[in-house]
């Protein structure tokens, strides 16, 4: 990331607001904000699929579900946070599974950048489908968008739910319902 460009931009925004960029409380703000963007946009220019780096073979060809994976992302329209939980289920092909933490790493890389919830959802699904060659993948994201709560339409508490369904979760209704009910009730 070009830290200097971000710092110059932050100074311009503050000046545009009529702030005194040399007052004590703001003097280090451009530097802080640039470091912050480096951290919260750490997924930029990375491929989420690269996070799935280890594979194991187990005698398990049924569902694997990791739910309530917390994420924080940045709405690409307003640069305000949207955040919530990702639930990931997959059905391995020939017992090919990955480490559980790798699923959360995929979520981190796909979310830490200016993003849309729908794209976040499909990037996670595609990463899993391509690397695991799974029989099926189901990803559900529930999120609160601060651009809809602290500004604009101001609907505090509203939640946006997206889902991405591939393979057997798409073709077999009972499998999809099992995944969805585990996400909802456990
Ligand atoms: N589909 C989708 N829309 C989003 C997401 N995040 C923010 N938005 C929406 O993007 C839209 C941008 O609309 P614009 O009319 O260009 O911007 P705006 O004038 O600030 O709109 P308001 O938010 O309605 O005040 C808004 O409706 C946001 O709610 C997202 O992840 N997915
Ligand atoms: Zn927004």
- Between CA 61 and CA 133 the distance in angstroms is 13
Minimal CA–CA distance to 75: which of 120, 137, 18, 27?
A: 120
pLDDT at 172: 97
Q: Which residues surround ligand 2, an ion (CB under 5 A)?
A: 75, 77-78, 147
- Between CA 34 and CA 43 the distance in angstroms is 15
pTM: predicted TM-score of the whole model, two decimal places: 0.95
Token readout for 104 is 């959360």
The dihedral built from the CA positions of residue 136, 119, 36 and 42, taken in this order, carries a sign that is positive
Minimal CA–CA distance to 82: which of 1, 14, 166, 141?
A: 141
Residue nearest to atom 30 of ligand 1 (CA): 116
pLDDT at 90: 97
pLDDT at 185: 85
Q: What's phi and psi for 82, nearest 5 deg?
A: -125, 145
β-strand 136-145 against 160-167: which pairing, if any? antiparallel
Catalytically annotated residue among 15, 70, 77, 177: 77
- Between CA 149 and CA 128 the distance in angstroms is 32
pLDDT at 61: 84
Catalytically annotated residue among 41, 115, 117, 123: 117
Can you tell me the ipTM of this complex? 0.92
116 pocket-lining for ligand 1 (C-beta < 6 Å): yes
Q: What is the DSSP string of the chain?
A: --HHHHHHHHHHHHHHTT--TTSTTTTTHHHHHHHHHHHHTTTTT--GGGG---EEE-S--S-EEEEEEEEEEEETTT--EEEEEEEEEEE-STTEEE-HHHHHHHHHHHHSSEE-HHHHHHHHHHHHHHHH--SEEEEEEEEEEHHHHTSTT--TT--EEEEEEEEHHHH-HHHHHHHHHHHHH-
Tens place of pLDDT per residue across the chain (186 aa): 999 999 999 999 999 999 999 999 999 999 999 999 999 999 999 999 999 999 999 998 899 999 999 999 999 999 999 999 999 999 999 999 999 999 999 999 999 999 999 999 999 999 999 999 999 999 999 999 999 999 999 999 999 999 999 999 999 999 999 999 999 987
């Amino acid at each position: 990331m070009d830290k200097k460009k971000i710092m110059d931009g932050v100074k311009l925004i503050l000046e545009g607001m009529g702030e005194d960029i040399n007052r004590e409380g703001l003097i280090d703000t451009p530097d802080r904000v640039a470091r912050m963007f480096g951290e919260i946009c750490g997924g930029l220019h990375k491929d989420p699929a690269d996070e799935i780096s280890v594979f194991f073979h187990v005698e398990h060809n049924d569902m694997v579900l990791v739910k309530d994976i917390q994420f924080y992302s940045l709405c690409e329209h307003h640069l305000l946070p949207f955040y919530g939980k990702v639930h990931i289920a997959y059905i391995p092909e020939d017992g090919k599974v990955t480490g559980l933490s790798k699923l959360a790493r995929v979520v981190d890389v796909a979310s830490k950048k200016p993003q849309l919830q729908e794209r976040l959802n499909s990037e996670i699904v595609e990463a899993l489908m391509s690397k695991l060659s799974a029989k099926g993948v189901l990803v559900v994201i529930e999120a609160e968008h601060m651009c809809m709560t602290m500004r604009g339409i101001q609907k505090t508490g509203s939640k946006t739910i997206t889902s991405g369904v591939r393979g057997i979760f798409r073709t077999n209704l009972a499998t999809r319902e099992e995944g969805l009910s585990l996400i909802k009730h456990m």
